[in-house]
Structure 1
Amino acid sequence: MSKAKQYNPRSLYFPERITGTMDGIFDYPLTIVEAPMGYGKTTAVREHLNQAGVNLLWLRVYDGSTSSFWNGFAQLFRELDDDRTQSLLCLGFPEDVISAQEALKLIGDIELPGPAILVIDDYHMIDSPAVNSFIELLVENEIDNLHIVLSTRYTTIQKLAELKLKGYLHHISKETLELVPQEIAGYYHACGIKLKSSEADQLYALTEGWISALYLLMLEYIAEGRYTSAKNIYTLMEKAIYDPLSDEIKEFVITMCIFENFTHEQAVHMWGTEDTGMLLDGITNKNAFVNYDDRLKTYHMHKIFTGFLQGELEKKDIRFKQDLNQKAARWHLKNGDYFDAIHYFYECGNFDNILTTLEDGRLTFSYEKEDYLMKYMEECPREVKARHPFGFLKYALYLFSYNELALFGKACEEFSSMIETDSSLNDGLKRRLIGEYELLISFTAYNDLPKMSQHHRKAFELLTGPGVLLNTRSVWTFGSTSVLYLYYRESGRLKEHVRELEEALIYYTPLTNGQGGGADYVMEAERQFFSGDFVNAEILGHKSVYQAQSKMQPGTVICAMFVQIRLALFKGDFSDMLDILQKMRVDIISGRQYMLIHTVDMCEGYIYSLLNQTDKIPQWIATGSISSSRLMFPAFGTFNIVFGRTLLINGEYLKLIGSADYFISIASVFPNLLGQIYTHIYLAAARRQIFAEDDAISNLEQALAIAMPDRVYMPFVENCDYIEPLLIRLAGEGHYREDIARILTLYETYRQSKEQIIREYFTEEKPWLTDREIEIARLAAEGYTNAEIGKQLYISANTVKMALKSIYAKLSINSRSLLQQYLNDLDR
């Protein structure tokens, strides 16, 4: 091995074999570059794409948090389309089919300026089946001009073979990135060192073409004029990288190794002197293991180097490490990264600052952080909690959000004890704390309105204005399609329950900046609807929509509109039903209220189940996939109402009977009587179908016993297509004669309306569209706005709007995605 006159160990070298393979990135929707740490994956991809001059979207993954991943993923599109970026952020990571389809639509609508490469670096860090599924969906939908590259140490994507077979995947393995002897000689020559072929063979035998080991051996050779056969990468790194550094730079890189990446400002904060920039320049210019990303304005230390430095950090005394973590916590706190701040405060044992951060109130709750937060607070000394009562109360709220009810109760008891025994609290602060506490513990009596209201009144008396603990943007209805479902708990008292809700909201709504606004009107509208008083139900339905909208309560608005949809069904006005459903969906999407997209689906699915249109019920409902939805537990019973009817019309009687105990158990937790009524009706219908009529009669009697004291007729009317003979038999035996007569009278009108809709809109043959309607439909399905369609076809936007309304009515659909599905079927 002979020395050349000048060395440049930071020279990059990519043989034609590697560059040729990298060219395949532009030919496939997905490329996976898979190799262990230190094989130069990131560098090879970055340099190749930079030289190609493409639009590059680069995301580096630092941990296994899906929410952090999604935040970074969505932010990639900010410069291209800030509005849709905000929508993606509000949507959150799409863990279910409905959310994923909405994410696909948002991404597909972003206008890319030519081919764009989206690189997800260190993809193995996320290690999430849900993220894998989303990437697969993104790839299979082949968004125009978008190519995805995953740089990863290993891949857990299950569909690799299938993606390859379909021509979606270009897979680059570590063997591609290993340099053969001839290429090792070329690499060293580019850095100023000429190798004999025998020396190249020896280096290959020692390193197996691993670029990191080759680089470290080169540095050692440059420094000492020879290379050793040390195989331990950390030993090589210590000799070739770390030992030559000055003491100041050693201390600096040890300081920064606690971060996955960092900015210049962050380094100044941690190091504390003005010469930080010079230190960074010196390191990045001479060390290939520390790089600066000009696009992201961040520094990144290679994981091999970070791992070595963290070993050096462990040798430092405890005071040094505490100061380091304290500085890191302060940095994250300053920049609004509250949970990261809490983590570093914990690392240095500063529980006071953990609770101070919680008191700030801007920490958003995340299931991914649940275990960490509970661990930190479990170790927190009681006297520290007593010094920060608001922070501890906020922690109790997180426990309730995590559904850790036992720990929530324990925390509430501990908080109450601390307030009672703390003589240092002044009267004003003590009143405020007890007021917040009363508001929080009202949820321990959830669904029992008088008991909840007792706490609300106490909070109202103690607080001078709205409370600060509750998130007023949360969905008050929990995703339920019905307010009545949530608070109807005692047979014979439905009217009183409506009054109790009205009285409770007098105190609760002002305390929470509007939460629950209009819900009392919705519940009364539902009560009137279920009793068959459709005139008053319609009046109250309109009133409740306006009331809920004025208080910015989208969940309550959906419940009110669902009443209007059911009224339209009773009148046989299918076009009006579709209009309301369409408006409901548009309002939720445009308002970025993505927590409610499954609620809209349930409204739609229930209506189609009543019309016996199994193929139009959303798939996640038809398969009972509630766990993939964004519904919260109190709304689960409303899902079961829709799912139960779906099982019934699909003829899955045994499955329905087998699921009934679960349905009843869900509807008995608080309890929710409406869920129990529907379940007993479904059981009666299913058992009649399998000729167990006596059992069916028994179930129907149970439903009537709960419902008739409150004249809740409509659940029976909606299912009379299955239970009418049972009702007639019961009336003939002298049971509930007047009530059943009313049910059967309502059913006659309902049946005629339903048959009319089915006859007009649901025929065996596909609906016929005119050529102009098909033209408009195709443009609409491709995502053009009404104005853009009108401009292309030389007609007004209003004409397009009316044409689409006619198309939707003909096809019995209410969205452009379903329109695309119809056109796909038409083209087959």
Structure 2
Amino acid sequence: MSEMLLRTKLLVPLTRPNLVVRPRLIELLDEGLLAGRKLTLVSAPAGFGKTTLVSLWAQRLRADESNDIAWLSLDESENEEKRFLEYVVTAVSQAANSDHIMGKNALALLQSPQAPAISVLTSLINDVAGQQHSIVLVLDDYHLIDEPAVDEALIFLLDHSPPQLNIVVVTRVDPQLPLGRLRAHSELIELRASDLRFTSAEAAEFLNQGMGLNLSAADIATLETRTEGWIAGLQLAALALQGLVSMAGPADTARHVQSFTGSHRFVLDYLIEEVLAQQPEAVQAFLLKTAVLERLTGPLCDAVTGQKNGQATLEMLEHTNLFIVPLDDERRWYRYH
């Protein structure tokens, strides 16, 4: 392995104790793998437990030795084709540790100054095709990639991947990949925010067992409704409540639960750091000005912002998973969640 590559990027993240296991989602991931889907897309906004879910699944696959796991945690430094390819080839090579041949030629090609991506990937694909074990390649935080050449490299890998290779993309924003074609050819399985939200039972397990609270069914239902099953929201609520409900009676606990809203400082800090600060200034201004609206449509947003791109901005927010929900099939009315 090159000394210029960060080893920790290739490690499957550890999951914390008292995790909500979520067998219904593990089964969906298993189904995609067993059905031979080329791509598994896990796409949802920040705080929906994407990485936690996929890392738990990857650990289980590795434990039963049914698949080799190649994990790559991406950041902005992989927005360069050659560096991205070097990490991918190294991740796959280390995952298939039965010998030292896997990826050797591909890594050698990458040492040349003008290594063609297609040649590198062709060599890697041929190596994978000769393996008996299946390999699951997880690309985590793919939303940090905005280099078209990297997207093109991944498209080539998807188009020519052998049956032994399953690619998992974990992202906050849908990638620039041919999702429509993959979907039409039954080569894609998708997990979205609607799948990842906590159910009532999962919320109860998380709050009372995972976070050590002793909330009533009514209090749990209140928090689930207010957060719409958003995992980070439930965790922030639990952190806010932990010091308040330990000595409180049922009535006081219910009052504390009722007082928790999206304007709580824990929630605001999270949204500012993880969501708002990552957006361009124009998007930040749009979000702040339209936050007062209960329902959003293009002309209404134009009236509030003084701009003329309200509908296009709403469609962009939906595409990038920025906490917006369409209310009709024509995508004319939306609401924030």
Which TM-score tier does this pair reach, normalised by the shorter chain?
A: 0.5 to 0.7
**Are the aligned partners of 1:34 and 1:155 in contact in 2 as well (CA < 8 Å)?**
yes
Whether 2:123 is the aligned partner of 1:105: answer yes
2:203 & 2:40 partners in 1: Cα distance? 26
Give, as a single letter, the amino acid of the residue that structure 1 aligns with 2:141: D
Distance 2:160 2:166 in 1: 11
Residue of structure 2 in register with 1:68 after alignment: 83
User: Separation in 2 of the partners of 1:92 and 1:14?
Assistant: 46
CA-to-aligned-CA distance 1:580-638 (integer Å, 9 cap, x gap): xxxxxxxxxxxxxxxxxxxxxxxxxxxxxxxxxxxxxxxxxxxxxxxxxxxxxxxxxxx
In 2, the alpha carbon distance for the partners of 1:178 and 1:216 equals: 15
TM-superposed deviation, 1:176: 0.6
Contact map agreement 1:91 1:99 (CA 8 A) in 2: no
Decide which of 111, 128, 149 is 1:90's aligned counterpart.
111
Q: Secondary structure at the match of 1:109?
A: helix
- Selected match of 2:168 from 149, 153, 170: 149
Whether the 8 Å CA contact 1:30–1:169 is kept in 2: the answer is yes
In structure 2, distance between residues paired with 1:213 and 1:233 = 10
Per the TM alignment, residue 185 of structure 1 is displaced from its structure 2 partner at its CA by 1.3
Q: Which residue of 2 aligns with 1:206?
A: 226
Kept in 2, the 8 Å contact 1:25–1:149? The answer is no
- After superposition, residues 662-673 of structure 1 pair within 5 angstroms as none
Contact 2:103–2:127 at 8 Å: present in 1 too? no
Question: Per-residue deviation at 1:35?
Answer: 0.5
1:19 corresponds in structure 2 to: 26
Q: How far has the Cα of 1:139 moved from its partner?
A: 1.8
Is 1:131–2:150 an aligned residue pair?
A: yes
Q: Judging changes above 3 Å, is the alpha-carbon distance between structure 1 residues 86 and 67 closer, same or farther for their aligned structure 2 residues?
A: closer
Task: Give the aligned residue type for 2:170.
Answer: S
Higher strand share: 2
Give the Cα separation in 2 of the matches to 1:104 and 1:18: 33
1:499-535 CA distance string (max 9 Å, x none): xxxxxxxxxxxxxxxxxxxxxxxxxxxxxxxxxxxxx
Q: Are the counterparts in 2 of residues 88 and 106 from structure 1 also a CA contact under 8 Å? A: no
Q: What is the deviation of 1:234? A: 5.8
1:218 and 2:229 correspond: no
Q: CA deviation at 1:173?
A: 1.0
Which of 51, 54, 74 aligns to 1:45? It is 54
Counterpart CA distance in 2 for 1:72 and 1:93 is: 17
Letter aligned with residue 47 of structure 1: L
Q: Distance in 1 between matches of 2:207 and 2:201?
A: 10
- For residues 240-279 of structure 1, the aligned pairs below 5 Å read none
User: Residue 52 of structure 1 aligns to which amino acid in structure 2?
Assistant: L
Aligned match of 1:35: 44
**Residue matched to 1:186:** 205
Q: Does 1:166 align with 2:194?
A: no
Q: Tell me: CA distance 1:15–1:187, structure 2 relative to 1, closer, same or farther (3 Å).
A: same
- Structure 1 contact 119–149 (Cα < 8 Å) conserved: yes
Q: Is the Cα–Cα contact under 8 Å of residues 34 and 152 in structure 1 kept in the other structure?
A: yes
> How many aligned residue pairs are there?
233
The runs of 5 or more residues in structure 1 that have no matched partner are 1-8, 242-302, 309-828
Residues 438-458 of structure 1: per-residue CA shift (max 9 Å, x gap) = xxxxxxxxxxxxxxxxxxxxx
Distance 1:88 1:181, change over 3 A: farther
For the 8 Å contact 1:160–1:169, the answer to whether it is kept is yes
- Give the structure with the higher percent helix: 1
More RCO (CA 8 Å, sep 6+): 2
CA distance in 2, matches of 1:132, 1:76: 18
Contact 1:88 1:103 in 2 (8 A): no
CA distance in 2, matches of 1:165, 1:93: 36
5+ residue gaps in structure 2? 1-15, 246-255, 279-337
In structure 2, the CA distance between the partners of 1:119 and 1:160, relative to structure 1 (3 Å rule), is same
Residue 68 of structure 2, aligned match among 55, 60, 67? 55
| Compared CA separation, residues 92 and 44, structure 1 to 2 (3 A) | farther
Letter in 2 for 1:108: N
Q: CA deviation at 1:49?
A: 1.6
1:156 deviation in Å?
3.2
- Aligned residue for 2:262? 231
In 2 relative to 1, CA 235–99 (structure 1 residues): closer, same or farther, beyond 3 Å? closer
SS in 1 for 2:46: coil
Q: Where do 1:549-698 residues align within 5 Å?
A: none
Partner AA of 2:57 in structure 1? H
Distance in structure 2 (CA, Å) of the matches to 1:107 and 1:222: 51
CA, structure 1 residues 158+75, in 2 after alignment: closer, same or farther (shift >3 Å)? closer
Residue 73 of structure 1, CA deviation: 1.6
* Contact preservation (8 Å) 1:31, 1:169: yes
Aligned partner of 1:630 in structure 2 is none
Alpha carbons 1:67, 1:92 under 8 Å: kept: no
Distance 1:85 1:195, change over 3 A: farther
Measured in 1, the distance between the counterparts of 2:91 and 2:113 equals 14
Q: Contact between 1:179 and 1:210, CA under 8 Å: does it hold in 2? A: yes
Amino acid across the alignment from 1:156: P
1: distance between equivalents of 2:20 and 2:166? 25
- Structure 2 SS opposite 1:116: strand
1:631-659 deviation digits (Å, cap 9, x = unpaired): xxxxxxxxxxxxxxxxxxxxxxxxxxxxx
Q: Distance in 1 between matches of 2:267 and 2:175?
A: 31
Contact 1:58 1:118 in 2 (8 A): yes
Q: TM-score, normalised by structure 2?
A: 0.61
Distance of 1:61 and 1:157 partners within structure 2: 16
Shift of 1:158: 4.4
Counterparts of 1:189 and 1:214, CA distance in 2: 11
Contact conserved, 1:66 with 1:93, CA < 8 A, in 2?
no
Deviation at 1:31, TM superposition (A): 0.5
Please report how far the alpha carbon of residue 233 of structure 1 lies from its aligned counterpart in structure 2 after TM superposition: 7.3
- Write the distance in 2 (CA, Å) between the matches of 1:187 and 1:38: 14
Give me the whole-angstrom Cα distance separating, in 2, the residues matched to 1:113 and 1:134: 24
For residues 29-66 of structure 1, the C-alpha deviation after alignment (integer angstroms, 9 at most, x for no partner) is: 21010001111100100001211223111111110333
Could you tell me whether the CA contact under 8 Å between 2:89 and 2:106 is conserved in 1? yes
Shift of 1:230: 3.9
Give the C-alpha shift of residue 196 in structure 1: 2.8
Following superposition, the deviation at residue 197 of structure 1 comes to 2.7
Write the distance in 2 (CA, Å) between the matches of 1:92 and 1:181. 55
Rounded Cα–Cα distance in structure 1 between residues aligned with 2:22 and 2:127: 38
Deviation at 1:143, TM superposition (A): 1.6
Give yes or no for contact 2:107–2:120 (8 Å, CA) kept in 1: no
Give, in whole Å, the separation in 1 of the partners of 2:114 and 2:165: 20
CA distance in 2, matches of 1:78, 1:51: 20
Q: CA deviation at 1:159?
A: 1.6
TM-score, scaled relative to structure 1: 0.26
Q: Is the contact made by 1:117 and 1:146 (CA closer than 8 Å) also made in structure 2? A: yes
**RMSD, aligned α-carbons:** 3.0
How much does 1:171 deviate?
1.4
